[in-house]
Amino acid sequence: MTRTSDASAERPLIDGAGGGDATSGQRRLTSADLAISTAHQAALRSIARVVDETAEPQDAGRAAAGLADQLRGGRVLVITGAGVSTDSGIPDYRGPNGSLKRHRPMTYQEFRHDPAARHRYWARSFIGWRHMGQAGPNRGHELLAEFERRGWISGIVTQNVDGLHAAAGSQRVIPLHGDLSVVRCLNCGNTEARPHLDARLAEANPGYVERIDLDPEAVNPDGDVTLAQHHVDAFVMVGCLVCSSVELKPDVVYFGENVPAERKREVAALEADSSSLLVVGSSLAVMSGYKIVLDAVRAGQPVGIINGGPSRADAKATWRWRTRVTPALEDLFARLA
> What is the structure's pLDDT at 96?
55
| Domain assignment present for 273 | yes
Left if phi > 0, otherwise alpha if psi is -120 to 50, otherwise beta: which for 158? beta
- DSSP secondary structure of 180-248: EEEEEETTT--EEEHHHHHHHHHHHSTTTGGG----GGG--TTS-----HHHHHH------TTT--S-E
Q: Is 40 annotated as a binding residue?
A: no
CATH number at residue 284: 3.40.50.1220
Task: Specify the number of domains making up the chain.
Answer: 1
Give backbone dihedrals phi and psi of 82, rounded to 5 degrees, phi first: -60, -25
Q: Is 82 exposed, middle or buried (0-12, 13-18, 19+ CB in 10 A)?
A: buried
Residue 223: its pLDDT value, please? 67
Structural contact between residues 318 and 66, judged by C-beta atoms closer than 8 angstroms? yes
Position 137 scores a pLDDT of 97
Sign of torsion over alpha carbons 15, 20, 22, 28: positive
The boundaries of the domain holding residue 169 are 60-91+138-179+258-336
pLDDT value at residue 49? 83
Specify which residues 158 forms β-bridges with. Answer: 80, 175
Concatenated DSSP letters for 118-172? HHHHHHHHHHHHHHHHH----HHHHHHHHHHHTTSEEEEEE---S-HHHHHT-SS
Residue 225 region, left (φ>0) first, then alpha (ψ -120 to 50), else beta? Answer: beta
228 located within any domain: no
Give a yes or no: residue 169 inside a domain. yes
Annotated binding residue 240? no
Provide the CA 13 distance to its chain's centre, in angstroms: 23
The pLDDT, as a whole number, for residue 10 is 43
Contacts of 35 (CB under 8 A, 6+ apart): none
User: pLDDT value at position 48?
Assistant: 81
| 49 within a domain of the structure (yes/no) | no
Confidence at residue 191, expressed as pLDDT on a 0 to 100 scale: 98
d(CA 231, CA 222): 19
Handedness of CA 294, 295, 300, 306 (dihedral sign): negative
What's the pLDDT score for residue 241? 98
Tell me what pLDDT residue 107 has: 92
Tell me, yes or no, whether 36 lies in a domain.
no
Does any domain span residue 319? Answer: yes
185 is known to lie in a ligand binding site: yes
Residue type, 244: S
pLDDT value, residue 21: 38
Is 188 annotated to bind ligand? Answer: yes
What are the mean pLDDT values of the chain's consecutive 10-residue runs (337 residues total)?
46 41 58 88 83 92 98 98 92 58 79 95 90 88 98 98 96 96 97 97 96 72 79 97 97 94 98 98 95 98 97 97 98 97
Q: Give the Cα separation of 320 and 108 in Å (integer).
A: 33
Give which of 109, 99, 83 is closest to 3, Cα–Cα: 99
Residue 256 makes CB contacts below 8 A (sequence gap 6+) with: 1, 39, 40, 42, 43, 46, 107, 108, 109
Catalytic residues: 177
Strands of the sheet with 248-252, listed across from one edge: 191-193, 178-185, 248-252
Q: Is residue 283 part of a domain?
A: yes
Asked, for residue 324, whether it belongs to a domain, the answer is: yes
What pLDDT is recorded for position 290? 97
Contact indicator for 143, 330 with CB cutoff of 8 Å? yes
